[in-house]
Amino acid sequence: MRLKFIMAGSLLPALFLFAAGPVATPPKPPLGLLPVTWPADNPYSAAKAELGRILYFDKRLSADETLSCASCHDPKKAFTDGAPVSTGIRGQRGGRSAPTVINRAWSLAQFWDGRASSLEDQAIGPMANPIEMGSTHEAIEGHLQAIPGYKPLFQAAFGNDKITITHVAKALATFERTIMSGDSPYDRWKAGRPNAMPAAAVRGFHVFQKAQCDACHEGHNFTSNMYSNIGVGAEKPNPDTGRFVITKSESDWGAFKTPTLRDVEHTAPYMHDGSLKTLEEVVDYYDKGGTPNKNLDSHIRPQHLRPEEKADLVAFLKALSGNGWQSITAPSSFPQ
């Protein structure tokens, strides 16, 4: 079995880590990002991150073996699926757009409504969702335990070859915390290189501040990690009430988590329902003051931006496209 595993090309790095011991030094974030705070009960190791990468792309984690985590969070599409709403097993369609996994290491609660308290909790949620991957945590444990090639990977990552859904969650979350975007034109401009951003993007940065976009899209990751009602879908007969479903607080009615703007150029369509196709549409939506409703955020109001200001703002948003995540690829083979 050990020889068979060595011959599986993409799995060789993990086997080497098993022989040499885990590497405890996490990858350094690109320019512009703060260090990652790794959970005390799930510290980084290269073996764990590699196991997470393999699990992330393995379609055998779904009930009918047709979908993986990467099906809805595809690295070729900036870790989204490029669709207004995601499609699960047997062609079932969800009600919300798949958010990018990029820079989730700096996110707090996960999902559009914040129902998962950690990246570990989020990682295993879709597996047991009947309209997403459609399996159960117990079935996933049994299925992985029946694949001999996974045991050395779990041994390398956790010091034993016991395969549990908790270990699956920790491995996936470790891998996902390595999916980063920084060193963008904006970051280089902010670091003192005046020509790193086009003039239009520099003007757009000032429009971004003028329009108070940074009230919600703040900090190094351009998100407050909080929830806001900006009116998207509020006019529908049965609107998605967002975080209200989780908290039952009227102040959360129609509120959704503020997403990062990092690499927003590559994560269309936009909003929780994927209803806006382009950045220009997003800017127009905010400029008009959103959609009025009983809980519209106080920051959402008409801006009356000039056409050239809108164009500059879009240029700035595109200047937030960075580096780091593009090198992540699927394994060439999987444990057998």
Structure tokens at 74: 């595809």
Q: What confidence tens digit (pLDDT) does each residue in 63-90 have?
A: 999 999 999 999 999 999 999 999 999 9
The active-site residue, picked from 50, 120, 132, 176, is 132
Nearest to 101 by CA among 183, 176, 190: 176
Least confident range of 20-24, 40-44, 56-60, 79-83: 20-24
pLDDT exceeds 50 at position 123: yes
pLDDT at 23: 55
State whether residue 54 is helix, strand or coil: helix
2-181 and 183-323 have identical folds? yes
Q: What is the CATH number of domain 2-181?
A: 1.10.760.10
pLDDT at 2: 33
Backbone dihedral angles phi then psi of residue 54, each to the nearest 5 degrees: -65, -45
Q: What confidence tens digit (pLDDT) does each residue in 261-290 have?
A: 999 999 999 999 999 999 999 999 999 999
Domain boundaries, the chain: 2-181, 183-323
pLDDT at 24: 78
pLDDT exceeds 90 at position 1: no
Question: Is 120 assigned a catalytic role?
Answer: no
The answer to whether the bond into 269 is cis (omega within 30° of 0) is: yes
pLDDT at 41: 97
pLDDT at 217: 98
Mean per-residue pLDDT for 179-208?
98
Q: Which residue type, as a one-letter code, is found at position 106?
A: W
183-323 has CATH 1.10.760.10 classification: yes
Q: What confidence tens digit (pLDDT) does each residue in 231-244 have?
A: 999 999 999 999 99
**How high is the mean pLDDT of the chain?**
93
Computed over its alpha carbons, how large is the radius of gyration of the chain? 21
Least confident range of 23-37, 120-134, 245-259, 264-278: 23-37
State whether residue 100 is helix, strand or coil: coil
Q: What confidence tens digit (pLDDT) does each residue in 284-312 have?
A: 999 999 999 999 999 999 999 999 999 99
pLDDT at 7: 30
